[in-house]
Structure 1
């Protein structure tokens, strides 16, 4: 944690923001932007280590492609192509984020040559056996929650968010520590109705890539069942020029090799 704080301190000088107080929704919107909408598009190679409560480990490797439809932080598309291990090789997870309705999500299972639609009720379930949820990968709509600024210090805006539809999620609230200079959420903790922490996300490493502050290592820990998942990002690039056509059902079975190298 000390290392990331040193990095963020340096970025505070490079990435200055106005000193005036910010409205909580402005903070949340900016945090959502820098987390999911940097550049017109982007790609990254991801190494995922899934560690259970007994310390047993599984590794997955995949490529994430992401394209924004416009510059309003609205409709957006994700394409996730799995390389390792062998039992998930060529599997594809694709998301089309919609602002006027629920997101569309598909999972292609190459062993069965089957395209499966992921229901909205499955958004808060495990992403390919990890401690991250599907919604953690593509982002949660900021209008799905009510946000309150509970604390502000020299380094962070601390925001508490409460779901507007509590029956649709497993948590009662979550708190985000949003770095004031970069607006990156450095830590997020999810709580149940007893106030017990059930999951926690931590950004472990931040780098400046293509002019954008970027999380290149992160963890998600499950405090109920034990275990955690570590994600490391490499070969991160922005403004790649990804064509819209690759984010379609056709390319679930026919991977866009040019952009996966």
Structure 2
């Protein structure tokens, strides 16, 4: 039985489904789901998106999120389950009886001691909004792996869904890679190229890349179980790295036809 810990940030749409996919794999036990609630988590950047995309686009996104939360509440209260996918990290943890913890920093000493006591084989990150430091990276037997929603080494860093659309790319990707002390820097374990549609929005591209990436993560877990990894170099000098867009770049994006949702 492979023991896994998942470290991510709150998401109402795809990450809970991706965790559910892992929970249904044979030979897997998810020990804990860790929600990183930091200043860099997307759920804590509401004013940033309002300034960049305007009230109308942000409200439209907010309605989607409220709808997802409503479905979670109804599903939780209904004796006969609605057979819908979980729409929060807490919902998927409740459904599968997985321990849940919300913290600020996974590099905290107290948290590290707790994780060590669980003896995980693998730690999985779904775009966790913090850098994993050496003490955390060394805990699991098979290391820490991350899903990044671009075709690494291209578009490493923050918000690849925005940057690929902003720069009018024709394709992006999903990449599962080993984690090290630098962002999106470790050796590549699996990746797939993903075409960008002409009418793609940031939200639709996030959904697409995260869903495909979730399937890729399941494949990588099976590859680790079967000792069938085909690693390849991740060459940052041949790629590109992006940080948080400015509000002005968001506004420029919308003025040229780009949409959040």
The structure richer in helix per residue is 2
Query: What's the TM-score bracket when you normalise by the shorter of the two chains?
Result: under 0.3
TM-score by length of 1: 0.24
TM-score by length of 2: 0.24
